[in-house]
């Protein structure tokens, strides 16, 4: 049972990393073409990770540094996943 939980946490951690990379690819390369691999991958990753990130984002709104906002919900959820993996 612990192996299953550990595997799910690891997969979720990979999805969070994929989300960060896909979000940055949009910032650096511009929006993806509808139906492209990047577009489909972004939709899948957001569909899986957003239900976990959204409630945390409501509690911790992004911190603003001028025009830049840092999403603390991502950092908190990622840290909790890593902590849970260490406990298991």
What's the token pair of residue 73? 């919900």
Selection from 63, 64, 45 nearest residue 53 by Cα: 45
Residues 47-60, mean pLDDT to the nearest whole number? 97
**% of the chain at pLDDT higher than 90:** 81
Residues 30-55, mean pLDDT to the nearest whole number? 95
Selection from 57, 68, 75 nearest residue 27 by Cα: 68
- At residue 32 the predicted structure's pLDDT band, cuts being 50, 70 and 90, is confident
Contact 45, 23 (CB under 8 A): no
pTM value is: 0.89
Q: Is the pLDDT of residue 68 over 90?
A: no
């Amino acid at each position: 049972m612990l192996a299953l939980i550990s595997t799910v946490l690891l997969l979720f951690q990979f999805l969070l990393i994929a989300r960060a990379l896909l979000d940055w690819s949009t910032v650096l390369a511009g929006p993806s073409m509808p139906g492209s691999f990047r577009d489909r991958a972004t939709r899948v990753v957001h569909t899986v990770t957003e239900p976990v990130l959204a409630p945390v984002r409501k509690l911790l709104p992004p911190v603003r540094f001028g025009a830049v906002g840092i999403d603390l919900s991502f950092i908190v959820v990622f840290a909790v996943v890593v902590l849970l993996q260490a406990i298991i």
